[in-house]
Amino acid sequence: MKHHRPALSRPLLASCAVAVALCGALPAHAIVNGTNTSSFSAVGALGSASGVLVADNWVLTAAHVASGLSLGSSSFSTLDGSSLVDAVYTFSSAAFPNNDIALVHLSSALDTATPILNDLVVKSSQIAALGTLTMATAQNQIPNGYATTTASAAVSTNTSHGVTSTVNWLVTNGQAYLQSGDSGSALFKGAVTDSAGAVLLGIASAALTNDTTGASEGSAFTQVASYKTWINSTMASSGQQVSWVSSVPEPSSLALYALGGLAILALRTGHSGRNG
């Protein structure tokens, strides 16, 4: 079994390993079961991965993507233009998968309509009420790619090999999955067809695979709401700011009941020999 990164376990989920969606030999398609699109202009190529324009000169991406950028030579390219990277800011304790989020500053502004960031952290009790979500990437599909999916869990920490990391992930497990090159791409609320004005829930951090079969089991997105204070303070000196909106639905009593049943099922699965 091969991994791009050490195996990680998902609490209360089926046993799996995490492989970072890093660049490498580019696959034939980006999002597995994704569709080519000329929309999602705020989602652009950043190095050999992706990022999301959230203000004229600012891009949100994964920390492990930002760590591979070169100031003055790496660029962010969207359907509306391109700009060189002149500064990179990663969360203070970012080290994959710990706090896998970064802000990239661009040397020139891009005139692109941006998404709105979700400002309330999605909790496990709200997963069932989220409904359809949309993944969008700027890698490999032409010119961009997108697909709808659903969330299966909200995970704040993850323990692997005795080390606990703060991940603040939304985990999806629909028929669409991240793969190589999709890191730093976007997860939007709802079934949307463009990024302009859409609600950005998360930034792509990792692809999840089954320990035994290697099959895709979902994707992990770092929740932007978990880093609202850091995002605002990092951008403050530039005079630019992102737009925030509270859009997380309240769970219904039926949804809470269903989630309770899922947790029990997962725990039973763990006792049957799978790692939880």
Please give the domain boundaries of the chain with CATH numbers for all domains.
16-271 (2.40.10.120)
pLDDT digits (tens, 9 = 90+) for 148-180: 999 999 999 987 778 899 999 999 987 888 877
Q: Is 273 helix (H, G, I), strand (E, B) or coil?
A: coil
Residue with the larger pLDDT of the pair 57 and 34: 57
Q: What percent of the chain has pLDDT over 70?
A: 78
Alpha-carbon Rg of the chain, whole angstroms? Answer: 18
**pLDDT the model gives residue 18:** 55
pTM listed for this prediction: 0.81
Strands in 142-237 per DSSP E: 144-160, 163-172, 186-189, 199-210, 216-223
| Maximum mean pLDDT: which of 4-8, 30-34, 37-41, 51-55 | 51-55
Cα distances (Å, whole numbers) of residue 210 to 72, 167, 243: 39, 19, 37
93 torsion bin: left (phi>0), alpha (psi -120 to 50), beta (else)? alpha
